Every structure is written in structure tokens, then in C-alpha cells.
Amino acid sequence: MTATRLLRKSFALLIALTMLLGVLPLVALASTDAQDVAAQTLFNIGLMKGVNDDPNNPDFDLDRVPTRIEGLIMLIRLMGVEAEALDCDFECPFEDVPAWAVPYVAYAFEMGWTKGISETEFNPDGRMTATQYLTFVLRALGYVDGVSFTWDNAWELSDDLGITSGEFHSAGDSFLRGDMVLVSLFALEQPLAGSGTTLIGSLIEAGAVPADAAKQVTDAVDEIAAAAATDPGTITPPSQSGGGGGGGSFDTN
């Protein structure tokens, strides 16, 4: 087990112990700080956008439940095919997808990554659940649902890999945009299935993120883990500035 993964496990254990002792304000503070670090890093390397139009002061809206379209776009970015998706001319079969999101949904549908809630509805503003997003992340890493894992128990594999640590075992668990950015950040350091190349390494090779993205991700993960192991209230967002892309949603229905 790597030092980083061990620190991540310590971070999860610290949160669990704090909840057991009833020190809820500490948990909230630790989560918020860690999520800020993750969101800022994803923004810096081009995998996330704020919900506002100010690149110098992005609002990541981390306390909100992510939508299906937000989860799908994040998945497409994690797979390094956003430019390809935006350039596609595939037909979108769903009538409720806003024009700006049509290329993402059409591409994902053509690739077999997503289905709608009916033949004509995608429900882009519907709630993205933890299980659904973990399924997307595992797919981005090259794991096949129904073979490597089952989508309704995706947390079993994500826990085993060290992306999560048991926080999403219940289908009713809350899943916010802040959770989405943490899962995404930790997933970037994971090797692709059957490969020695990490997800962030593959994105660098594809030119989807800057050449120094791996260092930025590692620094952020280390900052989150080290701060959680010492004082959960001391984490501050990275000082780097940068531009980049935003949320997303991928459908399992």
C-alpha cells in the first residue's frame, strides 16, 4: 500500500471516528476544505468549470447534488474525449437535452455509455447518485460493469482500489458535487485496468490536460491526506491558478 493511499485511509478513518464521537462541525469543516482543494485542482488542469463565468473566482457549488448531465460531462472529460465529443455529429435521440449539452449526450449514447429514462427523455437535470458516478469513474478506468463489478455495488471495487473508503455503501447516502470532485481527484491517480499507466497519465498522453497535471493531482491528494491526518481544519485550496472545464453526468439507466 502506497503512502498516499495509507493517508487516504487515515482520512476516511478520521472522518468515521469523528462521526462516532459526534463531532459533526469538524467533519463538515474537513469535508469542505478537502473538496475545495479537489475542485480547484480539477479546475486548474481543465477537468472542471465553475457554475459562474468568472475564471479568476470560480464558484464550484460543492454543496449541491450533481445532475445527470454534470456527471456525464465529467465522465467524458475523465476519459479524455471531450474535444472528440464536441466535434461529433452523432444524433441525439432525446428531446429534453439543452442544445449546449447535445454533443456530450449524443457522443455518450453512440459509445453505449448512457441510456435515457425513456426513448425520448434523458432527464439531464435529474439527480446523479453516488453509485452512478462511481460506475462512470470505474468505466473511465477501463473496468467493465457486469464483469469487474456490478453497477449497483460499484463502491465495492472503488473501495478496494482506494478511491473511496466505505462512505457510499448505502444507496441512500448523500452525494454532492463536493463528493464528486473528491472521487474524481482520487481516481486520477489510479492505474487503468490492466495497465501501469494512471488515468491522469493517459490524459497527459492524449493532450487532454497540461503536462504538469500529474504533479498537481499528486500534490493535492497529499495535501488533503496530510492535513486530515494532522488537523482537518487547516486545509487550504492550492494557490495555482488556471482554466478549465466543468461538471458532468453519465447515465446507467
Mean of per-residue pLDDT scores for the chain:
81
- Inter-CA distances, 246 with 11, 14, 84, 93, Å: 26, 30, 16, 24
> For residues 32 and 181, what is the distance between their CA atoms, to the nearest angstrom?
11
Q: pLDDT at position 22, please?
A: 41
Q: Does the structure show a pLDDT above 70 at 202?
A: yes
* Secondary element (H or E) of residue 76: helix 68-78
Q: Does the structure show a pLDDT above 50 at 248?
A: no
> For residues 241 and 141, what is the distance between their CA atoms, to the nearest angstrom?
27
> For residues 253 and 251, what is the distance between their CA atoms, to the nearest angstrom?
6
CA angle 177, 183, 184 (to 5 degrees): 85
Give the cell for residue 200.
491522469
Q: pLDDT at position 154, please?
A: 92
Mean pLDDT of 105-121: 91
Q: 143 Cβ partners below 8 Å, 6+ apart?
A: 149, 157, 193
Residue pair 184/140 in contact by the 8 Å Cβ criterion: no
> For residues 198 and 69, what is the distance between their CA atoms, to the nearest angstrom?
25
DSSP state of 67: B
Choose the weakest-confidence range: 25-39, 154-168, 212-226.
Answer: 25-39
Residue pair 187/140 in contact by the 8 Å Cβ criterion: yes
> For residues 175 and 64, what is the distance between their CA atoms, to the nearest angstrom?
9
Length of the chain: 253
Q: pLDDT at position 81, please?
A: 92
- pLDDT tens-digit readout, 205-241: 999 999 999 999 999 999 988 877 776 544 433 333 3
Partners of 191 in beta bridges: 198
- pLDDT tens-digit readout, 116-140: 899 999 999 999 999 999 998 998 8
Q: pLDDT at position 251, please?
A: 45
Task: Select from 157, 109, 80, 60 the least CA-distant residue to 253.
Answer: 109
Which position has the higher pLDDT, 4 or 68? Answer: 68
Which position has the higher pLDDT, 252 or 176? Answer: 176
Beta-sheet strands, E only, within the chain: none
